[in-house]
Amino acid sequence: MQPINPQNLMENQTVNPVPPVMNHAGHEVLDVHEILSHAVNTLDTYVMLRQHVKDPELADIMQRQYQYMVNEYNTLVECFSTGRDPSKPTSRYQMKQGNNVVYGLKPGQPKKPMTSPTEINDQRVSSQMLSCVKTGAGHRAVAATETTNPVVRRVLADSIPNCIEMAYEIFLYQNKHGYYQVPQFSPQEMQQLTTSYSPASPQLPLQ
């Protein structure tokens, strides 16, 4: 058996590149499987909860997000199975809400798990939506840094800001209706914390 020549290996890789459909690392395949599985669960959750939505505004958010997530899911499935650019380019999700946040805490009843499906309401539905979307953003961010296929990596990276936008949209809806309250520090504490750091020099020290 002849010894392996590293130069020959490099030449073989150049002459016989990996076909696009096989251009995936093992951990990448598992990560994308996890993302697609979570995407299916998220879409299923939206379908199961839609009948319980009473607020037309929440119904509109759910419908727009569902349509966007279906298109994003199909895009990822296509490029993952082919290793090539998807037939439809990635797009940007845009919410309708403004970005006004209500700060402060108001007294209310402690939260507890449901004991009956009759307790499903807009607050619980929107909380489930927010949980699904935030989890999806985290999964994609991790996978995008570990993906070797350039097309799949780009599709995953492009999807992260859209997950964040959808999560922010749901948060703003919840915050406006008092479902998601936002505490703040005192003005003195806020001033101290926001001025705790000073700018750094962009020059890398030589010694």
Q: For residues 37 and 202, which has the higher predicted lDDT (pLDDT)?
A: 37
Write out pLDDT tens, residues 175-202.
999 999 999 999 999 999 999 999 998 8
Rounded to a whole number, what is the distance in angstroms from the first to the last CA of the chain?
50
| Segments making up each domain of the chain, as ranges | 19-95+122-178
pLDDT for the residue numbered 60: 97
Query: Dihedral sign, CA of 63, 64, 68, 69?
Result: negative
pLDDT in tens, 133-151: 999 999 999 999 989 899 9
| The predicted structure's pLDDT at residue 176 | 95
- Record the pTM: 0.85
Going by CATH, does the domain composed of 19-95+122-178 fall within 1.20.1260.10?
A: yes
